[in-house]
Amino acid sequence: MGVLSIGVFSSLIGSMNLDFALKLADAALQKGHKVNLWLSGNATSLVKKDQKHLKDYSTGEKPLKALLEKGVEVCTCEACTLARGIQKTDAIEGVQWNAMHWYLAKIHESDRVLHIGGE
């Protein structure tokens, strides 16, 4: 079994890249792999708690919590998150807050890295 790190920059709603990342993470877990998830840029909006689940919009809170429970390590880029006005107290519990070196360190131990940088 391997280690997969996924890094994402895309926004919570709109591009569906984040939906993709969450589903891929779950599929990798089900195959027995370890998964790390790094959120930076607009993807940091994923960690805001109390997202209202309206059917018209992608929602990240529920799938993210499920991944956290299953042992996925999730970290949000602290500067990117604060710049958007989201504080630690506003964030989904269990998400780590760190600087970009967290991602590099996880990459270091990873067998595979999928970096979703495109918008």
Partner 1 sequence: MADTKLAFVVQRPPYKSENPKLAITHAIAYQTVEILLEEGETVTPTLCFIGDGVLACIKDQKAMDTYGITSTETHLKNALLVDLDVFVCKEDLERFGITEDKIVNADDMGADKRIQVVPYETIQAEMEAAKHVLFF
Partner 2 sequence: MRLAVFVSDLRSTVDTLERLKAEKLGIVLVGNGVYHASLKENGKSSPLLDKPASFYVLSEDLETRGISASEVDSRVKVVNYGDVVDLIFNEYEKLAWL
Binding site for partner 2 (CB under 8 A): 2, 4, 15-17, 20, 23-24, 26-28, 30-31, 33, 111-118
Q: Does 69 bind a second copy (CB under 8 A)?
A: no
Q: Whose Cβ is closer to partner 1: residue 42's or residue 89's? A: 42
The option from partner 1, partner 2, a second copy, none interacting with 4 (CB < 5 to 8 A, set by class) reads partner 2
- Contact residue for a second copy among 85, 93, 101, 118 (CB under 8 A): 85
Q: Does 55 bind partner 1 (CB under 8 A)?
A: yes
- Contact residue for partner 1 among 52, 85, 89, 108 (CB under 8 A): 108
Q: Which of residues 35-64 bind a second copy (CB under 8 A)?
A: 41-42, 45, 48-54, 56-57, 59, 61
Instruction: For the chain, give the secondary structure using H, E and C.
Output: CCEEEEEECCCCCCCCHHHHHHHHHHHHHHCCCEEEEEECHHHHHHHECCCCCCCCCCCCHHHHHHHHHCCCEEEEEHHHHHHCCCCHHHECCCCEEECCHHHHHHHHCCCEEEEECCC
CA–CA dist 22, 60 (Å, integer): 8
